[in-house]
Amino acid sequence: MISVIVPTRNPHPARLRRTLAGLSAQSLPRGEWELLVIDNASSPPLSPAAEPLLTTLHARLLVEPTPGLTPARLAGFRAARGEILVLVDDDNVLAPTYLASVAQRFAAFPALAAAGGPVVPEWETPPPAWSREFHGLLALRDLGPSPKIAYGGPAAPWPNFAPVGAGLAIRRPSALAYADAIATDPRRHTLDRTGTSLASGGDNDLVFTALHAGGEVAYFPELRLTHLIPAGRLAPDYLTRLNRGIMRTWVRVLALHGQCPWPAIAPASVPFRVARAWFRQRAWRGPAERIRWAGARGQFEGLADLHTGPPRPGA
């Protein structure tokens, strides 16, 4: 049994409908997977009456009142009945054979803990040329037609093909081990998005947890999905905030798992470092330069967090 978990908060109706339609088109027989939709404090609440595909797919609609991607995912982990969990964002459209391929790969690789594949865009508006450098920030990637597998262990390094959160398939024991780690370690509570925060470290923390417990982590080209990207995700201000949030939490995730190559820094030094990076990156010249500078700023803030502890939720 596979459990598909779709966290959502105030979803865009058309994009959510595309996500559900993609699930409706899956080739895996319906009796071999279940759908859990986690309504993360939407206003108004998500309703099957407003989205008939929820009823058609026999979705279990759960409510998680605590805002944030991490609480929503944990609610799904606790409620899931499957031995393999697949995380699907409310703007993801899975290839029709996605779930069948997950079932086949996890059956063929008993040590496999987590897997993902190519994430390709469907743009609402054509992306400007300067933005190409930053498409990876939007979880877009296609690493080619060959499978890639990393072997786990307590000190296993981060593989550059590690799965992103979109479409991430993970064994239930690995997901529950991550949930237990969250419950006992406050550093993990602010690694993912809450409200307007663009913190983006929860996916990496989840995969690292599975990898360091000894599980294999893989990229399989047949695990292909389409990411529906609205025009606002290409706005320079959005990408600036996103790069800052990603880099800040990436530093913290690396440190959490004993792989941060940089030392902690004093918080008082951050403004000077940020100002120096502004000039080094020539951030006034255009959006690409400013987005690069924001990444450096996030890295400094993450290193300062190592000195003082994680920021408050939403920071």
Query: 184, 201, 232 — which closes off a domain?
Result: 232
Is the distance from CB of 202 to CB of 73 less than 8 angstroms?
Answer: yes
Residue 27 lies in a domain: yes
Same domain, 79 and 191: yes
Query: 173, 208, 232 — which closes off a domain?
Result: 232
pLDDT in tens, 276-287: 999 999 999 999
Residue ranges with strand state E in 147-192? 148-150, 169-171
Residue 282 lies in a domain: yes
Same domain, 9 and 86: yes
Same domain, 217 and 245: no
Query: 200, 232, 264 — which closes off a domain?
Result: 232
Residue 50: pLDDT over 80? no
Banded pLDDT at 311 (limits 50, 70, 90): low
pLDDT of residue 312: 56
Q: How many secondary structure helices (H) and strands (E) does the chain include?
A: 9, 11
pLDDT of residue 190: 84
Average pLDDT over residues 163-181: 95
Residue 166 lies in a domain: yes
Average pLDDT over residues 106-126: 97
Average pLDDT over residues 223-231: 98
pLDDT of residue 284: 95
Same domain, 283 and 174: no
- Number of separate domains in the chain: 2
Same domain, 228 and 145: yes
- The three-state secondary structure class of 87 is strand
Q: How far apart are CA 265 and CA 167, in angstroms?
A: 35
Residue 315 lies in a domain: no
pLDDT of residue 83: 97
pLDDT of residue 258: 94
What's the mean pLDDT when you consider all of the chain?
94
pLDDT in tens, 265-310: 999 999 999 999 999 999 999 999 999 999 999 999 999 999 776 6
Instruction: List the domain range (segments joined by +) for residue 275.
Output: 240-308
Rounded (5°) CA angle 214-264-197:
75
